[in-house]
Amino acid sequence: MTRFRQEIRFATTADGVKIAFASSGKGYPLVRASHWMTHLEWDWQTPVWGPWLEALGARHQLLRYDSRGTGLSDCGIDSVCLDDLVADLEAVVDAAGLERFALLGPSQGGAISIAYAARHPERVSHLVLLDALARGRLVRQPTESAREVVNATARLVLAGWGKDNVAFRQMFTSEFFPNATREQHESFNDLQRLSCTPEHARRLILAFAELDASPGCPLIRCPALVMHCIGDVRVPFEEGRFIASAIPGARFEPLDSMNHVPLAGEPAFDEAIALINGFLPAAPGEGAPAVFGTLTPREREVVELLSRGLDNAQIGAHLGLAEKTVRNNISAVFDKLGAENRSQAIVRAREAGFGRVA
């Protein structure tokens, strides 16, 4: 059980699907894009995802959601193409009232995050990709043999996913987390069973194999951190290298793990959390005078860009704001920081940790 309390609400997509989302923790907003099998209630209970949620929620306002057909969101959904999955994310951040936020894309959530950030550059301040894919298996390997494997796996899942025999689900668990403990394996098996029906699991396997968000990579304009486990067999390490090389200025960090994402108890887990915390803006007031905690999320974005030496026109272009709006935000910042001019504000912001180059 987590020490953080989550609040579950629902958003409605343009095509009428109800998407469940939850918010927990305090700090700079961080949105986790949906990925293979999530359940807002059960994620907290598992030794696979629970430690991630604890660590991320300790320094950030963490927003997560169940994509269509999974967890607490609407079931019986036929279409799960990339546009549908991006629409889920769009509906959630709008319903949550997030104007600008950092985006975390694990696994298939990477494709969703890349597509969203490319389409909405004014909303995403930082992009973190963890063992992510931009291209599904059949996009990376458009061969008949690869298609046969995908189709056979989908048929196997449809036949055995909901059965008491866990062998079918264990097939995926062992591929995701070969170095997991028995407890971690069992909890992930249960999470898969609880998160969706056999039919939807089959649908996801087929859809994920066809995902292609790679055209969006060159369009990313925010700072990007790409982390990938060296021994990941679910999403090959080469895919992480491909993504990092395709996103302008992206930072690439290999993680020494055989698992799909690092698990609590292995050094790569602590390394990944430290990398994320060092990359994302600090929580309001963390490592800074208390006055910085009075800044709104938008004002914090302005301060960050101001401290990097950007002028009003550049800040406006980066945030999608008119110069007059930027001037108004900067005036508000000066008042809150007690700064008489731009130079004084920049000095105080940098002393508080703003303006770090990721």
What's the pLDDT tens digit per position in 295-344?
888 888 899 889 888 899 999 988 888 999 999 999 999 988 888 888 88
pLDDT of residue 354: 79
Task: Say yes or no: 97 and 224 in one domain.
Answer: yes
Q: Average pLDDT for residues 33-37, to the nearest whole number?
A: 89
Across the chain, mean pLDDT equals: 88
**DSSP-assigned states of every residue in 104-118:** EEETTHHHHHHHHHH
Domain boundary residue, one of 279, 314, 331: 279
Q: What pLDDT, in 10s, does the model give residues 196-240? A: 888 998 999 999 999 999 999 999 999 999 999 999 998 999 999
Which has the closest alpha carbon to 37: 203, 202, 201? 201
Could you tell me if 100 and 171 lie in one domain? yes
328 and 202 part of one domain? no
Query: Which helix H or strand E contains 65, and what residues bound it?
Result: strand 60-65
260 shares a domain with 319: no
CATH number, domain at 66?
A: 3.40.50.1820
Is 284 within a domain?
no
* CATH code, domain with 342: 1.10.10.10
Distance CA 64, CA 61 (A): 10
Q: Per the domain annotation, does 53 fall within a domain?
A: yes
To the nearest whole percent, how much of the chain has pLDDT over 90?
58
| pLDDT computed for residue 231 by the predictor | 96
Distances in Å between the alpha carbon of 128 and those of 29, 119, 252, 266, 276? 13, 16, 10, 20, 7
Residues 68 and 187 in one domain: yes
**Residue 115 lies in domain:** 7-279
d(CA 271, CA 246): 24
pLDDT of residue 290: 62
**Together in a domain, 199 and 133:** yes
Q: Which among 260, 279, 298 is the end of a domain?
A: 279
- Distance separating alpha carbons of residues 103 and 97, to the nearest angstrom: 15
Does residue 285 sit within a domain? no
Report yes or no on 358 lying in a domain.
Answer: no
**Strand ranges of the sheet holding 101-106, from the earlier edge strand across to the other edge:** 7-12, 18-24, 60-65, 28-32, 101-106, 124-130, 224-229, 251-255
On whether both 295 and 273 belong to a single domain, the answer is no
Residue of higher predicted confidence among 134 and 37: 134
Cα gap 328→256, rounded to integer Å: 46
With respect to residue 215, please indicate whether it lies within any of the assigned structural domains: yes
| CA neighbor of 49 nearest in space, from 36, 67, 30, 68 | 36
How does pLDDT run across 84-122, given as a tens digit for each residue?
A: 999 999 999 999 999 999 999 999 999 999 999 999 999
Q: Are residues 338 and 197 in the same domain?
A: no
In a domain, residue 22? The reply is yes
- Tell me, what's the pLDDT at 181? 84
Say if residue 1's pLDDT is above 80.
Answer: no
Domain tally, the chain: 2
Please tell me whether residues 255 and 339 are part of one structural domain.
no
Confidence at residue 2, expressed as pLDDT on a 0 to 100 scale: 43
Q: What is the pLDDT of residue 165?
A: 62
Name the residue among 8, 192, 15, 7 with its Cα closest to residue 86: 15
* pLDDT for residue 356: 60
Co-location of 54 and 177 in the same domain = yes
Higher pLDDT among residues 54 and 292, named by residue:
54
Cβ pair 260, 131 in contact under 8 A: yes
Say yes or no to pLDDT of 8 above 60.
yes
Average pLDDT rounded to a whole number, residues 124-140: 96
201 and 308 fall within a common domain: no
High-pLDDT (> 70) share of the chain, %: 92
pLDDT given for residue 163 in this prediction: 65
Least confident range from 5-14, 31-40, 234-243, 290-299: namely: 290-299
Compare 349 and 120 and report the one with higher pLDDT: 120
On whether both 253 and 337 belong to a single domain, the answer is no
Q: Which residues are CB-contacts of 47 (< 8 A; sequence separation ≥ 6)? A: 181, 183, 184, 187, 263, 264
pLDDT band with cut points at 50, 70 and 90 for residue 358: very low
Between CA 143 and CA 53 the distance in angstroms is 38
N residues, the chain: 358
pLDDT in tens, 284-301: 445 456 667 678 888 888
* Mean pLDDT to the nearest integer, 152-169: 74
* Single residue among 225, 260, 279 that ends a domain in this structure: 279
Residue 97 in any domain: the answer is yes
Confidence of residue 162 (pLDDT cuts 50, 70, 90): low
Determine, yes or no, domain membership for 356.
no
Beta bridge partners of 254: 228
CB 131 within 8 A of CB 261: yes
- The whole-angstrom separation of Cα 154 and Cα 101 is 35
Mean pLDDT, residues 142-160: 90
pLDDT at 312: 92
The alpha carbon torsion through 253, 175, 68, 240 (nearest 10 deg) reads 20
| Confidence category of residue 180, pLDDT binned at 50, 70, 90 | confident
